[in-house]
Amino acid sequence: MPATRSLADTYVSIAELMRLARGSYKRAIDAEYAVRGIDDVPAPGGYVLAYLANGEESIPEMIEGLGIKKPEYAEFMDRLVLRGFITRDIDPNDGKASFALTERGYAAAEAIFAGGRIVDKQLERKVSADDIDGLRRGLLALAEIKQSLPQP
C-alpha cells in the first residue's frame, strides 16, 4: 500500500503554500460570522471593518491595501453602508468622506478578530515561537518585495 502524501509532499513552492494557507483565517472568520448571525459581509469587507475598528488606516491606505481602484472602493463602501455595517459622513467644507462602524459593524469586526485569534492560537500550538517569528519575517519580506515592484 503506497504511503499517503502529506501537504508538505504535494505543495512545495512558497506560492503554492501561501495559496493553500490563505483560507485559514477566512474559514475561521466565516464561522464566527455565522455564530453572530452575520451572513452578508461583502468580500473583502472584513479588511475594511478591521481597519475601521482599529482606526489604523486612512482611506488611501485602505484602497492600496485592498488592491482596488478608487471607484471600486467607493462602490464597495456603498455596499457596507447599505448593509448597515458602517455610516458615512461628508465634510461640507472639503467634501471628504469619513466612515464609522455601526453596532452591526462592531459585531462583524469582533467576529473578524475572534476568528483571527482562533487561527493564531492553533498556529502557536503547531509551530515554535521561532518558526512564527521566521514566518513573520518572511511575510514582511514578501510585502516589501511587492512594494518594490511596479504596479500594473
- At 109, which CATH number? 1.10.10.10
Each residue of 7-55: pLDDT tens digit? 666 657 888 888 888 889 999 999 999 999 999 998 888 888 998 998 8
Q: Is 98 inside a domain boundary?
A: yes
What spatial distance separates the first Cα and last Cα of the chain, rounded to whole Å?
A: 49
Which residue range(s) make up the domain with 129? 12-147
Contact call for residues 33 and 41 (beta carbons, < 8 A): yes
| pLDDT of the residue at 2 | 61
Residues 6-29 as b/e (b if ≥16 CB within 10 A, e otherwise) read eeeeebeeeeeeeeeeeebbeebb
| pLDDT of the residue at 100 | 92
Q: Is 6 inside a domain boundary?
A: no
Using DSSP's 3-state secondary structure scheme, residue 24 falls into: helix
Residue 43 φ/ψ, nearest 5 degrees: -70, 140
pTM of the predicted model as reported, rounded to 2 decimal places: 0.80
Q: Is 2 inside a domain boundary?
A: no
Q: Is 3 inside a domain boundary?
A: no
Q: Is 141 inside a domain boundary?
A: yes
Q: For the residues 122-146, what does the mean pLDDT come to?
A: 93
Mean pLDDT computed over every residue of the chain: 88
Domain count, the chain: 1
Q: Is 29 inside a domain boundary?
A: yes
Answer yes or no: is pLDDT of 3 > 80: no
Sign of torsion over alpha carbons 142, 30, 129, 52: positive
